[in-house]
Structure 1
Amino acid sequence: MSANAHYPQINPPHRLLMGPGPINADPRVLRAMASQLVGQYDPVMTGYMNEVMALYRDVFRTQNRWTMLVDGTSRAGIEAILVSAIRPGDKVLVPVFGRFGHLLCEIARRCRAEVHAIEAPWGEVFTPDQIEEAIKKVKPRLLLTVQGDTSTTMLQPLAELGDICRRHGVLFYTDATASLGGNELQTDAWGLDAVSAGLQKCLGGPSGSSPVTLSAQMEEAIRRRKHVEEGIRTAAHEDGDEEMIYSNYFDLGMVMDYWGPERLNHHTEATSMLFAARECARIMLEEGMDNLIARHALHGDALLAGIQGMGLEPFGDLRHKMNNVLGVVIPSQVHGEAVRKLLLEDFHIEIGTSFGPLQGKIWRIGTMGYNARKDCVLQTLTALEAVLNRLGFKTTQGAAMQAAWDVYARSAV
């Protein structure tokens, strides 16, 4: 028997991905990914790279020259920025309000930083005063934040933190993987020095490429590091007087030289992912960033109304919930995983569970990117209500749908 009999062509089942990400990619993005490859220094390819930089400046709402892609999942973008900016012994401050704040702490420790964390209960966020007080006490070189943490579904306010960081001489980074596109983010207006994201949530694409943007101040900090390839420093880095960056692949000084006019060889660009990232940004800007954020807010509000309409309790401080992911407290009389199993098997709908102190206590339901649509919200509410009733949690039949429809009726969608 041939190997082909054991390994047929990939043909995954249809799923409606309504968890915290990844989501169903926009068909236009999938079509872009199917395009034929070109060489990495083909003028067509370098032209696409320049277009990606221009498009993501508008997505991030920045004038930063160094706005580009890091090949890899969203975590690759996080690690590239931290590994390139943090020097051994640097003090960094991390406000932790969920799982991904702990991730920033772990990566910073691997960069040999002196990590100082402040923690908020899961379901809450920090006030600017709390963060400024910690900055005054710690005197960090960098503030590392998460804007939207999908583990808690909370959105950390950032608008006032840039001024605080400038007053205290602190470089300001945020991980916007789960928030960019579905919630307001103003890189320049808010004084952010570095932002990283991913395609697989509100951007409507697959995981595998991480858009990043760097301020001039962050570029300078990175350029001062030693950047060595095969034992030879490039002329652009001869004045580097800080300890060498520990990663070659994630060395953003070298990545900048690859994306810049020098086109110095560093890696082979992930062409199909670049096509995906370009199409994600093109679609977002075609809709308009303000309209995109409003769409995520609308469908998030409709989902929230439906969840409350069927008698379920949303999780956390709703004043700071993300537009695109909702935490739902699992009723005591049902088993959370049994609900998820029935949703997947009988309706082909996936919702998420959570981590750490919230494991088994909440579901996380996403309305983001291509799935931030009325039909996706109504299908999910209908299926969830049916499964809950099947498993013994009685709801007022149709109340969830009516509540969601009321939200849509008020917005004339």
Structure 2
Amino acid sequence: MIREVGAGERSISFSLLKTDRNAHVFDALTHKQKVEVGGNKYVIDTITKTGDSVIRKSITAQHEIVDRMRSEFYKESHTQTLSIQRCMEICFLSTGMSYEIRGSFDNKEFENFGQNNQWELFKQCLSRFDAEYDVKGIHVIIAPVGSLGVNQVQTQFRHDHNTVTIEEHIDASELATYGEAYANWNDEKEKYDLHVTYISPNAKNYVDENGKIKYYNKVIYDDRFEHADALKQKLISEMKDVPDYSITITLAELRKNGALLHPFNLFDYVWIIYEPFNMLIQARITAQTRYPFAVGRSPEVEIGNFRRDISKQMAQANKASKKIESVAGQTTRALSTAVKADNNARQAIELVNGADGQFQLHIQNTQLHVQPGEREYWNNKADKGESGQDAAWALNEARKYTDQRVGEVMSIVDALIQKVDDIDRRLKALEGNQGTV
């Protein structure tokens, strides 16, 4: 099976049984070996082996573009306006692949672009610039979505003619027409310094029973951003202001003298005529699944409007990325709070230690106080949102053994711990809100 998706996967899948005749080839098909089909090389990632007296291997391999780019890591980080040319230089650096950019793209604001493998950066750029790609061998073409393969062929997919089944799918479960984004939490002001909003021009298409616009909300929090323009671009890229729409067609592959009567390729525009759905449209092939070595096995094509999340695989990757970014933002704030608490505590100790150092000798008494290993264990909990609770517990234990001379510092540290607890509660509330969204 050959699977091709517009801006997503290029993969092959196949199975084989081990025999005396193919044993050497069977054993040679291992992880990261390459298989060449139709001028493209695919790198084996997944192998499932089953059987008893007869052994069967089921293999899935991704196009080598994935392996080449995933094995390269870009160490730098950029927070600035970048052109697509500069982004592609980064994505293809040291991969041994060539590329060309067709069409025009506006420059985009990036925050912390980099410090990742170059395949992930490439997918990020496709999403940010609203681009798609095609690959032949080790040459990649990048262009605006909708501009590759603009052939308007006369091929028809027609009911009772060359279609076996047709399935229309509309998914509005993640629809968002109004968005808000927050970034850069300010401890002093106790609010976010950055707050942007966006209303989609498609919002007017959705009204309630009284004819008023009904907004579908999307809220994101990301403390990595420091500029409003970049934050707004991030918000828009994560909003789905139109439903996902696709048509999946299983074809009866009609041939005459060995030639396909209705030829088509990925990205071509074809006619779909399906009277039971009252459907007569000219639409673009965004994905196809072919079985070139299975006689009689019907190919499948998909036609849709996946303007941002072009494939299900990329949609899942984007969802995972959002979760990671959310956790990263919360961890950054927690660590920042812990560092501030540590600095303030050190200053307080210096205030009460005095010239004779008696207080320092007192806190170094391991019979009474925390061992270094225990301290490291508590410090490591800062990124889990437990810093305030552990600090409060440690402070209560310290009170049992600290004499009257530390009375003044207690009031300072108490206020500090209360502030840490307040921040911790806000973080937990933020996590709950994000789960709701």
* TM-score normalised by length of structure 1: 0.24
- For the pair shown, the structure with the greater C-alpha radius of gyration is 2
**TM-score when normalising by structure 2:** 0.23
Greater relative contact order (Cα 8 A, min sep 6): structure 1 or 2?
1
Q: Which has the higher helix share?
A: 1
Q: Decide which structure has greater strand share.
A: 2
